[in-house]
Amino acid sequence: MVTIITGASDGIGAALARHLAASGGRLVLNARGRERLEALAATLPGSPVLVTGDVADPATAQALVNAARQHFGRIDTVVANAGYGLVRTIADTTPEEWQAILATNLLGTIHLVRAALPHLATQDLRDGYRGHVMLVSSALARRGRPEAGAYSATKAAQLSVAEALRVEVADQRIAVTSVHPVATATGFISAAEAHGGTWARGTSEPVQDPQVVARAMADAIARPRAEVWPHGLSRWALGLGTLWPTLFDGYFLRRMRRK
Ligand SMILES: NC(=O)c1ccc[n+]([C@@H]2O[C@H](COP(=O)([O-])OP(=O)(O)OC[C@H]3O[C@@H](n4cnc5c(N)ncnc54)[C@H](OP(=O)(O)O)[C@@H]3O)[C@@H](O)[C@H]2O)c1
């Protein structure tokens, strides 16, 4: 299976790359920085193809698709994983910050999908599918987080894209999966805090290992499904929150007041 992964040099993307490479997957890996990507590649079997570049640039998506076709002649799964967080109230998020986070988290996803779809649509079927699009969203797609409203909005937008796309490409036998991790022990929080602010986390909030998230993603790559919630309970809790929107307001308000 040939898999393209954006944001693969660290965190969830790197954990998925390790998992897939260990089971013989052929990989095309992306991040902006070359050094960490090369360090990861040196530890993986199967000589992954590396494509550096910012996912906010549509040329990066095209280069990833071209590299997969040139080296492997096929793309089974594209994983739009690259993204970052921002600790900011809605009132304090500047237009430039909105543009930057939308450009990476949302448009970065869309550029990859648009570059890949024409190729996925014309491939032969493999295990019942011509190809598979996997978008790494967040549990926050279902519940905007105070002081991370812009980030949450990008994750909710990815879910909307996945829901619409899944039906649009169903008859072409292209699978679409959105992934909804809870807090995961990666460099995500320190990267978010590098933009300023402190990412407050409640003591009762679950934190998962990136390998747990990667395993759930790899299972869904092998047997595509609509949504992946690596922390099962969060799906039901947030589902309840959609039926009862103020359910989580009190929890977040208490936490903000404490802070
Ligand atoms: N960790 C969590 O708590 C959590 C929870 C829910 C959802 N998620 C989602 O999971 C995804 C991965 O997060 P993570 O926790 O693995 O983050 P991470 O540990 O910070 O890793 C981010 C990876 O993406 C790359 N990257 C960042 N911006 C990029 C860009 N513009 N273009 C290309 N590559 C870029 C980074 O490398 P370079 O800096 O070299 O580019 C790095 O390889 C994100 O979409 C995030 O929203 C994370």
**Over the stretch 157-182, which tens digit does the pLDDT of each residue have?**
999 999 999 999 999 999 999 999 99
Predicted confidence band at 255 (pLDDT cuts at 50, 70, 90)?
confident
Place of tokens 């619409």: 164
Q: How far apart are CA 156 and CA 187, in angstroms?
A: 22
pLDDT at 201 over 80: no
Characterize the bridge pairing of strands 2-5 and 77-80. parallel
Strands annotated E in the chain: 2-5, 26-31, 49-52, 77-80, 131-136, 174-179, 227-228
The pLDDT of residue 18 is: 98
The pLDDT of residue 204 is: 77
Q: Provide the residue type at 26 as one letter.
A: R
* Residues recognised as catalytic: 151
* Mean pLDDT in residue range 67-71: 98
**Neighbour-count burial for 75-88, b at 16+ CB within 10 Å, e otherwise:** bbbbbbbbbbbbbb
> What does the block give as tokens for 233?
């309970």
pLDDT tens digits along 83-114: 999 999 999 999 999 999 999 999 999 999 99
Whether the CB of 181 sits within 6 Å of ligand 1: yes
Whether the CB of 138 sits within 6 Å of ligand 1: yes
pLDDT at 39 over 80: yes
The pLDDT of residue 14 is: 98
CA distances 168 to 6, 121, 233, Å, are 23, 12, 29
> What does the block give as tokens for 173?
């036998």
Residue that wins the pLDDT comparison between 215 and 257: 215
Whether the CB of 7 sits within 6 Å of ligand 1: yes
The pLDDT of residue 89 is: 97
List, in order of start, the domains of the chain with CATH numbers: 2-234 (3.40.50.720)
The pLDDT of residue 2 is: 98
> What does the block give as tokens for 185?
């022990």
CA dihedral 87, 11, 105, 193 (to 10 degrees): 20
Taking the centre of ligand 1 as the mean of its atom positions, its distance from the CA of residue 188, in whole angstroms, is 6
The pLDDT of residue 103 is: 98
Predicted confidence band at 258 (pLDDT cuts at 50, 70, 90)?
confident
Contact assessment for residue 37 and residue 29, using Cβ atoms and an 8 Å cutoff: yes
CA distances 246 to 88, 89, 221, 251, Å, are 21, 18, 35, 9
Whether the CB of 230 sits within 6 Å of ligand 1: no
Predicted confidence band at 256 (pLDDT cuts at 50, 70, 90)?
confident
pLDDT tens digits along 113-169: 999 999 999 999 999 999 999 999 999 999 999 999 999 999 999 999 999 999 999
The pLDDT of residue 136 is: 99
Choice from 5, 6, 9, 12 to test ligand 1 binding pocket (greatest atom count within 8 A of CB): 12
Place of tokens 């590649």: 41
* Mean pLDDT in residue range 17-37: 98
What does the DSSP 8-state code read for residue 208?
B
Taking the centre of ligand 1 as the mean of its atom positions, its distance from the CA of residue 22, in whole angstroms, is 21
Question: Of 218, 241, 216, 238, nearest to 228 (Cα)?
Answer: 216
Contact assessment for residue 26 and residue 99, using Cβ atoms and an 8 Å cutoff: no
The pLDDT of residue 43 is: 97
Q: How far apart are CA 118 and CA 19, in angstroms?
A: 27
The pLDDT of residue 116 is: 98
Taking the centre of ligand 1 as the mean of its atom positions, its distance from the CA of residue 82, in whole angstroms, is 5
- Which 3 state secondary structure label does DSSP give 35? helix
* Mean pLDDT in residue range 192-219: 92
Tell me what the pLDDT averaged over the chain comes to.
96
How many percent of the chain have pLDDT more than 90? 89
The pLDDT of residue 135 is: 98
Whether the CB of 175 sits within 6 Å of ligand 1: no
Taking the centre of ligand 1 as the mean of its atom positions, its distance from the CA of residue 85, in whole angstroms, is 8
Q: How far apart are CA 108 and CA 97, in angstroms?
A: 15
**Please, which residues have CB within 8 angstroms of residue 51's CB and are 6 or more apart in sequence?**
28, 29, 30, 60, 63, 64, 67
